[in-house]
Amino acid sequence: MSERNQAEGLAHFATADDDTRLWFIDQWSMWPRRADQRKTTNISFLYGGVLAYRARYETDPAMSDAFRSHVDWHDKHPA
């Protein structure tokens, strides 16, 4: 797991504009498909965004089953 990617995803979601936050939300729900071909699907980066989402909304975002399995793994193996 890339701690740097995770930290970047957390910071990016936490400081993002509404369009960027919507990209994260869309990407989590459709992973492994891409919401935007120009943007990353890096699990650690996206997981960092989930951490920021949880801190902001005190709940989990909607996630595809495939992405949820990676989030569950990261939750059990924190950076």
At 2 the pLDDT is 87
pLDDT at 59: 98
Contacts of 51 (CB under 8 A, 6+ apart): 6, 9, 10
**By percentage, how much of the chain surpasses pLDDT 90?**
90
Q: Is the pTM of this model over 0.75?
A: yes
Short-list 4, 72, 57, CA closest to 24:
57
Whether the pLDDT of residue 23 is over 90: the answer is: yes
Nearest-CA neighbor of 50 among 79, 76, 19, 74? 74
Q: Which residue has the higher pLDDT, 50 or 2?
A: 50
Look at residue 20 in the predicted model and tell me its pLDDT.
94
Angle between helix axes 18-30 and 43-57 (nearest 10 degrees) is: 120
Mean pLDDT throughout 6-32? Answer: 96
